[in-house]
A and B are shown apart, each in its own frame.
Chain A
Amino acid sequence: MALNRKIAYIDLTTGEIDIKPIPLKLRELYLGGRGLDVYLLYNHLRAGVDALSSENVLLVSAGILVGTLASASTRTHVAAKSPLTGFIGSSNMGGFFAPELRWAGFDHLVIKGKAEKPVYLWINNGKIEIRNAENIWGEGTYNTQTAIREELSDDEVQIMCIGPAGEKLVRFANVRTGYKNSGGRTGMGAVLGSKNLKAIAVRGTMDINIKYPDKALEYNKKIIDRITSTKFCQIMQKWGTMFIYGVTNTTGLVRVNNFQLNQHKFSEDIECESIEKYSVGTAGCFGCQIHCRGKYVIRTGSYAGTYSEGPEYTSQGAFGAEVGCRNMETILIGNHLVNDYGLDTLETGSLIAWAMELYENGIITDRDTDGIKLRFGNDNAVIEMIHKIAKREGFGDVLAEGPVRAIGKIGKESERYCIHVKGMSNLHSDERATPSLALGIATASRGSDHLRSRPAIDLYHLPLELLKKIYCQPTPYDGPLSSDYRDYTGKARMVQWQEMCYEAVDCLGVCKYHTIFLSPNLMNFEDFSNFLFYNTGLKIEPEKIWEVADRAYTLERLFNIREGLTRKDDWLPDRYFDEPTPLGLDIVKGKKIDRKKFKKMLDEYYELHGWDENGVPTAEILEKLSLDKEPTHIL
Chain B
Amino acid sequence: MKKGKSREGEVRCLNCFSRFRPAPGVERAFCPECKMEWRISWASKKTAKIRGPVWEKVSKE
Contact = CB atoms under 8 A, between A and B. Distances in A.
Given A234-B43, A265-B59, A583-B61, A271 B52 contact: yes
B15 A235 contact: no
A521 B2 CA distance: 8
Tell which of A226, A230, A234 has the most Cβ of chain B within 10 Å.
Answer: A234
Contacts of B43: 234-235, 237-239
Contact of B15 (A226, A583, A586): A586
A635 interface: no
A243 B52 CA distance: 11
Interface string B3-24: 0000100001011010000000
Given A265-B55, A585-B14, A587-B15, A247 B50 contact: yes
B52 A249 contact: yes
A273 interface: yes
Contacts of A243: 49
Given A266-B55, A268-B52, A521-B2, A247 B61 contact: no
A221 interface: no
A523 to B, nearest CB: 14
Contacts of A234: 43-44, 47
A632 B27 CA distance: 61
A250 B47 CA distance: 19
B53 A229 contact: no
A229 B41 CA distance: 19
A246 interface: yes
Given A250-B52, A271-B51, A231 B7 contact: yes
A249 B49 CA distance: 14
Contacts of A250: 14, 50, 52-53
A5 to B, nearest CB: 35
Nearest to A268: B52
B1 A246 contact: no
Contacts of A586: 15
Interface in A572-609: 582-583, 585-587
A246 B15 contact: no
Nearest to B7: A231
Given A235-B43, A273-B41, A586-B15, A229 B52 contact: no
A229 B6 CA distance: 12
A273 B14 contact: no
A229 B55 contact: no
A586 B17 CA distance: 13
Interface string B22-61: 0000000000000000000101100101111101000101
Given A230-B1, A585-B15, A246 B49 contact: yes
Interface in A258-283: 265-266, 268, 271, 273
A76 interface: no
Contact of A247 (B14, B44, B55): B14
A461 interface: yes
Given A250-B52, A583-B61, A585-B14, A235 B1 contact: no
Contacts of A247: 14, 50
B43 to A, nearest CB: 4
A238 B44 CA distance: 9
A266 B44 CA distance: 25
A251 interface: yes
Tell which of B7, B49, B55 has the most Cβ of chain A within 10 Å.
Answer: B49
A597 to B, nearest CB: 23
B47 A235 contact: yes
Contacts of A266: 55, 59
Contacts of A583: 61
Tell which of A239, A273, A582 has the most Cβ of chain B within 10 Å.
Answer: A273
Interface in A183-242: 225-226, 229-231, 234-235, 237-239
A521 B53 CA distance: 27
A314 B12 CA distance: 24
A225 B1 CA distance: 9
A385 B47 CA distance: 39
Contacts of A251: 14
A246 to B, nearest CB: 5
Nearest to B9: A231
A265 B56 CA distance: 9
Contacts of B51: 246, 271, 273
Contacts of A521: 1-2
Contacts of B7: 231
A380 to B, nearest CB: 26
Tell which of A225, A239, A247 has the most Cβ of chain B within 10 Å.
Answer: A247
A235 B50 contact: no
Nearest to A225: B1
A246 B15 CA distance: 13
A234 B17 CA distance: 21
Tell which of B2, B12, B41, B61 has the most Cβ of chain A within 10 Å.
Answer: B41
Contacts of A239: 43
Contact of A231 (B14, B47, B52, B61): B47
A461 B44 CA distance: 24
A260 to B, nearest CB: 13
Contacts of B49: 231, 235, 243, 246
Tell which of B2, B14, B44 has the most Cβ of chain A within 10 Å.
Answer: B14
Given A235-B47, A238-B43, A521-B2, 6 more contacts: A234-B44, A238-B44, A246-B41, A250-B50, A460-B12, A585-B15
Interface of B: 1-2, 7, 12, 14-15, 17, 41, 43-44, 47, 49-53, 55, 59, 61
Closest 8 CB pairs of A and B: A461-B17, A238-B43, A229-B1, A235-B43, A234-B47, A250-B52, A273-B41, A266-B55
Interface of A: 225-226, 229-231, 234-235, 237-239, 243, 246-247, 249-251, 265-266, 268, 271, 273, 460-461, 521, 582-583, 585-587
8 contacts: A229-B1, A238-B44, A247-B14, A247-B50, A251-B14, A265-B55, A266-B59, A521-B2
